[in-house]
Structure 1
Amino acid sequence: MAARFPLVRLALLWLAASLLTGCGFHLRGNLPLSQYPAIYVQSEAHSELATLLKQRFLQNKVELISSYQADKPALTLVRDTLERRTLSLFANGQVAEYELIYKVEYLIQLVGQEPQRYQFELYRDYQDDPNQALAKAQELELLLSELRQQAANRIIRQLARLG
């Protein structure tokens, strides 16, 4: 009877692995960008999103080219903007909650193809409290950093899909 339990466990493990692979589950993390040995990234001078993207490319062992070359892919960050919309007010009329909208527009030009334009928006709710202005300012910076990281990840995933 003791010999049956290892077989049952092995069968259950095999079944779980089969179900996970069958449903398309993949672990997330650094995406291999081996199809892009080098890439040119163009952006505004002090773009924090561009800095994050360049770090991600270096982590994935993609060489960053300093000038455009027709035989290498190019990524152009057209714009990234942050807007905020009022969601709710306190009884005294001050804003209690904002919705942050981070918009990103970029172009990807692969070798021998026309540039493809992409854009997306990321949303976050932000509760404001004028009595805790310093803490809320730090929270806002953390939210912006998180939004930029998500945007960089999304652009990298788009590039990986195109290759």
Structure 2
Amino acid sequence: MRAFISPKSIIRTFFVVLMALATASCGFHLRGNYMLPDDIAKLSLTSFDQYGQLHRQVKSQFQLHGIEPVAPSSRVPNLHLISESTGERTLSLYQNARAAEYELTYTVRYRIVVPEKGSQTYTTRVNRTFLDNPLTALAKSVERDMIEQEMREQAAKQIMRQLARLTAIFNQMEEQELEALLEQNTDNDERVSTELGLDVKADSAAADPAARQDNQAESAQ
């Protein structure tokens, strides 16, 4: 029996091949769920607490997305976890005015440094709600610990998403620096042209007595 290939199947195959070629040509590789630039195929990780849970969460994300952790060096990109903090605010109250529901906010500050391109500092936040039941104090403590652990995992994933946007961010920085340099050069060229024009006019007036008299008459007026 002769196999039948539909035009729709051919178009779908062509589209997949085209996307794969485009991805390979722009310097990205699929690692895990994100498209990470080649600049961070090897990445050093430093933090305020290298034995803390956040450090371990980010390092596990490295393994998940195919990033090779290396020792810190001036020649390799670095991800530095600056700080973490947890805050809360009351969302609702019981009838006895005791807090019934909280909103927990987990905040992480970190810095990304790429050699010869620059550095950027970011802040990521994760919010969760938490019910405070006074009748189950032990269970409440365990539940809160679990929520905070989930927030750390979510923060680590957000850091990976930020890493995936590194190329676009640094390209934009380079374009802004180039535009500023071009504007500065344009201003310098205009200033030099103006100075040269004044010098030429002054030389012409000095060489031509009639022009010098005209200039003196204009100055007297």
Aligned residue in 2 for 1:70? 74
1:130 is the counterpart of 2:134: yes
Deviation of 1:49 after TM superposition, in Å, equals 1.3
Q: 2:124 touches 2:158 (CA, 8 Å); kept in 1?
A: no
The secondary structure found in structure 1 opposite 2:111 is: strand
Q: 1:32 touches 1:60 (CA, 8 Å); kept in 2?
A: no
Q: Which whole-Å CA distance do the structure 2 matches of 1:161 and 1:75 have between them?
A: 14
Deviation of 1:34 after TM superposition, in Å, equals 6.0
CA deviation profile, 1:15-73 (whole Å, cap 9, x unmatched)? xx9xxx9xxxxxxx53354612211111122321111111111222322123x211110
The secondary structure found in structure 2 opposite 1:115 is: strand
Q: Which whole-Å CA distance do the structure 2 matches of 1:54 and 1:95 have between them?
A: 36
The one of the two structures with greater contact order (alpha-carbon pairs below 8 A, sep at least 6) is 1
Which structure has the greater CA radius of gyration? 2
Q: Which whole-Å CA distance do the structure 2 matches of 1:119 and 1:79 have between them?
A: 10
The one-letter code of the counterpart of 2:62 is F
1:55 is the counterpart of 2:60: yes
Q: 1:31 touches 1:157 (CA, 8 Å); kept in 2?
A: yes
Structure 1: segments with no counterpart, 5+ residues: 1-6, 22-28
Query: Which of 134, 148, 155 is 2:152 aligned to?
Result: 148
Q: Which whole-Å CA distance do the structure 2 matches of 1:56 and 1:70 have between them?
A: 23
Q: Which whole-Å CA distance do the structure 2 matches of 1:80 and 1:145 have between them?
A: 13
Structure 2: segments with no counterpart, 5+ residues: 1-5, 20-31, 168-221
Give me the TM-score of the superposition, normalised by structure 1. Answer: 0.76
Q: Which whole-Å CA distance do the structure 1 matches of 2:100 and 2:146 have between them?
A: 19
The one-letter code of the counterpart of 2:116 is G
Q: Alpha carbon RMSD of aligned pairs, Å?
A: 2.9
Identity %: 34
